[in-house]
Amino acid sequence: MLALLAALATVPLWAPPDNVTTSDGTFMVAAAVPPGVPVVRVGALVVVVLLAALTLWRGRRVVALFAVPAVALSWVWVRTEGGGSYTVAMVGTDAPPAFTSPWFAVSAALTALVVLTWTLAVIGIVGRRRGPSAERP
């Protein structure tokens, strides 16, 4: 179930918005993404989706492999200040509240994905340390 949630949490991260015009005419432009972040983010998202499918197919044996995207996505999270370092330039009246910002979904999804991948990695590592007899069929 957690692997499926992790795969679904990748959806807002595939193409974060570059710019948005709100209903009141405020034009918001995304900040420049730090070097290396797009490549690492997309690579980690592909790995999360593949591992989620593999987990559904093979069971708990592969869950420890979620440590790889967990480390990569944690790096992305730190480099983008929690996934929310996108709204820097605004032209117009007032900025919208944070919860209505189009980049809020990106920040929330990245934070959820970091937590989910680390949770899955820890579950997998603990299961491996207990040995094969501790795994359920």
Residue 79, both tokens = 């480099």
What single DSSP character describes residue 31?
P
* Number of structural domains found in the chain: 1
∠ CA 47-50-52, nearest 5°, is 105
Please tell me the predicted confidence (pLDDT) of residue 99: 59
Domain extent for 82 = 2-134
What type of residue is 11?
A: V
DSSP 94: -
Percent of the chain's residues with pLDDT above 90: 37
Average pLDDT, the chain: 82
pTM: 0.79
Residue-wise pLDDT for 63-109, tens only, equals 999 999 999 999 999 988 777 655 555 555 565 665 567 778 888 89
Residue 20 banded pLDDT, cuts 50, 70, 90: confident
Q: Where are the beta strands (DSSP E) in the chain?
A: 19-21, 27-30, 87-91
Tokens standing for residue 25: 């005419």
Q: What are phi and psi of 18, to 5 degrees?
A: -85, -40
- Judged against a pLDDT cut of 60, whether residue 41 lies above it is answered with yes
Sequence-ordered list of residues with C-beta below 8 angstroms from that of 76, at least 6 positions apart, any chain: 37, 40, 41, 44, 83, 110
> Which residues are CB-neighbours of 58 under 8 A, at least 6 positions away?
none
Which has more confidence, 105 or 117? 117
